[in-house]
Chains A and B, each alone.
Chain A
Amino acid sequence: MADLVKLTIDGREIQAEKGKLLIEVARQNGIEVPAFCYHEDYTLQAACRMCLVEIEKTPKLQVGCTTPVAEGMVVRTDSDLVRKSRKGMVEFLLTNHPLDCPVCDKGGECELQDMTFRYGAGESRFVERKIHTDEKQWSPVVYFDAPRCILCYRCVRACNEGMGVGALGVGNRGAISEIVPNHGDHLECDECGLCIDICPVGALTSGAYRYQTRPWEMEHVGTICTHCADGCKTTLGVRNDEIIRGNNRDRSGINNEFLCVKGRYAFDFTKHPERLQSPMMRTEKGYEPISWSKALEVVAGRFASVKARGGKFGVIGSNHTTNEENFFLAKFARQGLGTNNIDHHRTGDLAAFFDALSGKTGALATTGDVYSAKAVLVVGADLAQQHPFLSFQARANFRHHQAHIYAVTTGPVREDNQAVASVRIEKGGEVAGVESLREKLKAEGDLVIVFGDSVQGESLRKLVAFGDSLGIPVKYVCLVDYSNSRGAFDMGVLPRDGGLSREQMLAATDLDVLWVVGANPLKGAELASKSAFVVVQDLFMTATAKQADIVLPAASAYEKSGTVTNVCGEVQRLKQAIKVMGTKTDLEIFGQIAKEMGLNLGIWLPDKVFEEIRKNVHGYGVSPALLAMGPVPTMPLNGHVAALPGAIQSSGDTLFTSGSLTPYSEILNNVMEAPGRLYGGQGQ
């Protein structure tokens, strides 16, 4: 327990931890101390001078964001002098700031507007000519208007310290100082857009959101990003049933303000013109739209007849569908269709992972653990490309807590910049590479090991054995791709008890039905059984859908409720943001087919299915009340987990690709960095 000190702020006696910043202590006690440049995640600047307060016994006003509290300090944040100082600072700032409010996207959520209303003067005394430069576009999604910039340097710090990219800097000097991008007139970076959301004014604005609406016209829906497995909260701005923007400015969820380019911008696939909005049936003339009742009739009819004669089913589930949908589908396959041939594209060896962790408690790391552990070891993964939030957490851990980072990868990765030690290996040499760090790792206080798909089966068991042998607390993250790969595994979308794996289903020449939900297994792969009846539920006519007999238009993750489980096993709630005409959620489709077949598989509403999950799935006995407030970690299966047939392979996505969604997101295709990798090169 740290030392407490007593101090007085505005006549109130307050207790606080010794050495904490005055601005933090004041804010935590409900006393507002305004600041532009202060941000608790980044280095202190003391540049904007808005937080100047009076401290007794010091002759000049003192900066609240760099002054630590001390015993007996007497502070005034509301005296006449402080008010005058704040008014003066806002007045100075507004001398060169253009009166762009009517045409500036930030209007309505602008910190300078707020500060001016609260602390500024009603009229300006400035009658001189303002410094003007034209607005610039630095990338398809980043616009920069230098006159609006108040030089708080948040963007520079967020890009450099937070993201580890450093694509923004400061050029020139004095009143013509300007933020400059890393390539002079344009940016080449992660396109994450953190600079835009962290900018307190409208200097940095989004090219994707530009001039479309005002913030108060949108409904803000907080849901979970549908791209990678990190499970970031993304707050979607919705107007007239259209998603206009995404960000996380309200700092909810596990990711604070962080979002990558996919979480922030790649929601535009939802409104792509090629979005399926009607069931399709294959005829000699090609695909024809049919009604839902007709489609369900055809599908249910075929399923029932194949089941009746003991035919062979193959069900391929999705990495994107919700836990409720996965649970229901697994039940459908086993109880409804009487088959164990159900699988999904497995991107991480969770079976071996949980088996190796049998009997252990507290061995699963949460995303919070990646931020708070004393040491983080990354094995066989380029986090900045495939798990950008985990990369952000590890880097923040290094910045705030001086954590020790280690990297064992096949090529350079962004973590090298903070790493105590980086080991380059060939694929297959992961365990040996980790072994070479034994002495250093043994000396750590605790450790989180994050590993990619190249560590599987035997090498995975060896890695866990290595962790055990260090004699320190070790937690693990088994990396998987896509927003609900963990959920697909946990809910049993798996070929247990002798069921066929995905590859085996595609190779089975006697397959009668192939039911594909939200997956694209026939991209670059052949279906051996030429007579199989193929049903595909998806958002677009993927390569797999183009071989289907019936295509059913499904809703995306932004169009439904339910839960998903992220790479660290944290369960979070989705909230429906929009509805696309003509589509149904996968859960609804399952339920309707079941009903059509006369099966009783339970009520197909997400809440009801979740109740069943709570009762029946080990580790998911989470309190719905807790879940309503935020992520809840799940526990691994205890006890022996049988090995499963089939290959494990990561999707190989980068920051600018997202499986079959990539072609349908204009943003991902328009940024100049697509589809390549900027940092890390070959690191994996």
Chain B
Amino acid sequence: MAKQLYNQPSPLETRVVSKNFVIEGSETLDVYLANDGYKAFRKAKEMTPEAIIEEVKTSGLRGRGGAGFPTGLKWSFVPRTSPKPRVIVVNADESEPGTCKDRLLMEYDPHQLIEGILIAGLAVDAHKGYIYIRGEYRYLIDSMDRAIDEAYAKGYLGNNVAGTGFQFDLCTHSGAGAYECGEETALLDSIEGKRGIPRMKPPFPAVAGAWALPTLLNNVETFSAIPPIIRDGGPAFAALGTPKNGGTRLVCISGHVNKPGVYELPLGFPMLKAIYEVAGGIPGGKKLKAVVPGGSSCPILRAEECDIPMDYDTLAKVGSMLGSGGMVVLDETTDMVRFALRIMKFYAHESCGWCIPCREGTTWLKKILQRFYEGQGRREDISMLGELSKNMLGRTFCALGDAAALPTISIVEKFTEDFEAYLARQEVLV
């Protein structure tokens, strides 16, 4: 095929949500309609809202943004009979380091996302939607706007969606460069025009979200999975994965691999197979040292811990997370001190500053790691890194504090030898 994608597809993929990527013109409505487009919406229009939600529950779909909360359950929390109008918000703030899948879904299959949003609208009786796209994705905001315009022009948004009488309005909203605005309540504050600071929960967004309206908020990939689920049924989707971890997900494999890229793999796919067969193994035949399983906010895994299936429950059992699907492969040449510093710089920069432990903690950790990396480290710094991270863990206002603390604790504990090596070098130089 002539279409140039960001990476070559792999024969080991199970293409459900990315099945249209390879088709020329997949981002246009005509091509989408010619490839099962809006079959799911028409089917859902004939279902009751309860039936739609039940189908999503059966599919075992869990939030693809990172937290992995059961999607059907989340949809059932939105009070359909509230006197206040309900609102759909799509979290396209994709900022978790290592993650680059939502951009592909918006670039190659925007109409699938729109169809997913519409079905969600049917499920919770919502008629307004907002797609919050991170400001750095300037070109995607434009391309998403083009897709929305096309949908309006051809009657797939507005007062009479696909001739069914359903009314729905959709628009994009630009972020302004904050990772924290991927946190659902900070995103809602940002959409309202305020500083991107997270909110206290309760109340939860399902009950009081954007402008205090009941809000259904999910990740781009989660919404994109809805049309296939409704079209082919929940059980079919569930069967692709493992029990309680249904379906497939887009895995972003980067780092020391021969074929980095985004690959759609069923939940439960073995991690080592993903690295060596899907992503073509490590260049130069070097040894695997560590893997970041699902975005930098997850505890890191040593090579010997990576012989596991990739699903939410297994990753949780080994003390990490499936997270956002941003898998980073690190080979034996990786300096874990430098890696820890790099991600801590990110967290310190992105901390919103609201609460003491995250604001001061990430800054302090960054400074210690910087000093350590520059060769001025002390033995007590190693234990201090772990202690300070534990002083942050679970005590911050939102999960960013945990996102900074967890990887740091795991790197210090699992790769103490890298830190020791620095100290040994310093002694020699002195």
Chain A residues proximal to chain B, CB less than 8 Å? 44, 46-50, 52, 59-61, 66, 84-85, 88-89, 91-93, 95-96, 125-126, 128-129, 131, 150-151, 170, 172-177
Contacts and interface: CB of A to CB of B under 8 A. Distances in A.
Interface residues of B, number: 29
Nearest to A170: B195
Contacts of A128: 364, 367-368, 371
B394 interface: yes
A95 B394 contact: no
A174 B367 CA distance: 14
Contacts of A88: 357, 388, 391, 395
Dominant secondary structure at the B interface? helix
B355 A177 contact: no
10 contacts: A47-B354, A49-B357, A49-B396, A88-B395, A89-B356, A93-B356, A96-B363, A151-B353, A170-B195, A174-B362
B196 to A, nearest CB: 8
A126 B364 contact: yes
- Counting chain A CB atoms within 10 Å of each CB, the highest count among B360, B362, B364 belongs to B360
A174 B400 CA distance: 12
Contacts of A129: 367
B147 interface: no
Interface string B332-349: 000000000000000011
Nearest to B347: A174
B98 interface: no
B361 interface: yes
B384 interface: yes
Contact of A92 (B195, B349, B356, B371): B356
A170 B394 CA distance: 25
A92 B351 contact: no
A49 B348 contact: no
Nearest to A153: B354
Contacts of B362: 174-175
Interface in B167-194: 178
Interface of B: 178, 195, 200, 348-357, 359-364, 367-368, 371, 384, 388, 391, 394-397
Nearest to B360: A92
Q: What are the 5 tightest A-B residue pairs by CB atom distance, in nearest-first order? A: A88-B391, A177-B353, A128-B367, A92-B360, A175-B363
B357 A66 contact: no
Contacts of A49: 355-357, 395-397
A355 to B, nearest CB: 49
Contact of B360 (A84, A85, A96, A173): A96
- Counting chain A CB atoms within 10 Å of each CB, the highest count among B354, B371, B388 belongs to B354
Given A49-B397, A88-B391, A174-B351, A44 B360 contact: no
Contacts of A46: 200, 355, 397
Contacts of A170: 195, 353
A66 B355 CA distance: 14
A220 to B, nearest CB: 31
Contact of B348 (A61, A85, A174): A174
A145 B132 CA distance: 36
Nearest to B368: A128
- Counting chain B CB atoms within 10 Å of each CB, the highest count among A49, A61, A129, A176 belongs to A49
Given A61-B394, A92-B357, A95-B360, A173 B200 contact: no
Contacts of A48: 355-356
A174 B359 contact: yes
Given A93-B360, A175-B360, A177-B359, A52 B395 contact: yes
A47 B352 contact: no
B393 to A, nearest CB: 9
Contacts of B356: 47-50, 89, 92-93, 150-151
B368 A174 contact: no
A517 B2 CA distance: 99
Nearest to A36: B356
Given A49-B396, A85-B391, A173 B355 contact: no
A34 to B, nearest CB: 12
Contacts of B354: 47, 151
Nearest to B355: A47
A47 B368 contact: no
Contact of A175 (B359, B368, B391, B395): B359
Given A46-B200, A88-B357, A174 B363 contact: yes
A175 B352 CA distance: 8
Contacts of B178: 173
A236 B103 CA distance: 63
B391 to A, nearest CB: 3
Given A47-B356, A92-B356, A174-B349, A61 B200 contact: no
B199 to A, nearest CB: 10
Nearest to B361: A92
A676 B350 CA distance: 43
- Counting chain B CB atoms within 10 Å of each CB, the highest count among A49, A66, A92 belongs to A92
A172 B196 CA distance: 11
B200 A44 contact: yes
